[in-house]
Amino acid sequence: MYLIDTNIFLEVLLDREKREECEMFLKKIENGEIFGIVTSFTLHSIAIILEKLGSLEDYKKFLEIIKGFISLVIYSTNPEDEIKICEIAEKYNLTFDDALHYMSQNYSN
């Protein structure tokens, strides 16, 4: 299972340099060829970025599209998870975001 970072989606959404490569990767997840996991934190980060660009409508369209991805798991947390993430961040000297990704990878295995 592949952990999908915010920037993979942003490459496509913002028509950046590696858009085609990222689109091909995401297409494999959409079609069920490979499995991917994305955190709700990542989705919220994308929402904030698109909102700053005046494109909240684009975020809604994006969510409609990824809802149909066959092999995409969206990892959401609860307060207990958030405490564990803080503990992981402290233990391994990670940022909250990196600790969340660490925890989501362990969730998917």
Q: pLDDT 10s digit of each residue in the chain, 109 long?
A: 899 999 999 999 999 999 999 999 999 999 999 999 999 999 999 999 999 998 889 999 999 999 999 999 998 889 999 999 999 999 999 998 888 888 887 765 5
Encoded amino acid at 98, one letter: D
CATH number of the domain that residue 49 is part of: 3.40.50.1010
Report pTM: 0.82
What domain range includes position 86? 2-108
Contacts of 56 (CB under 8 A, 6+ apart): 47, 50
Domains: count for the chain: 1
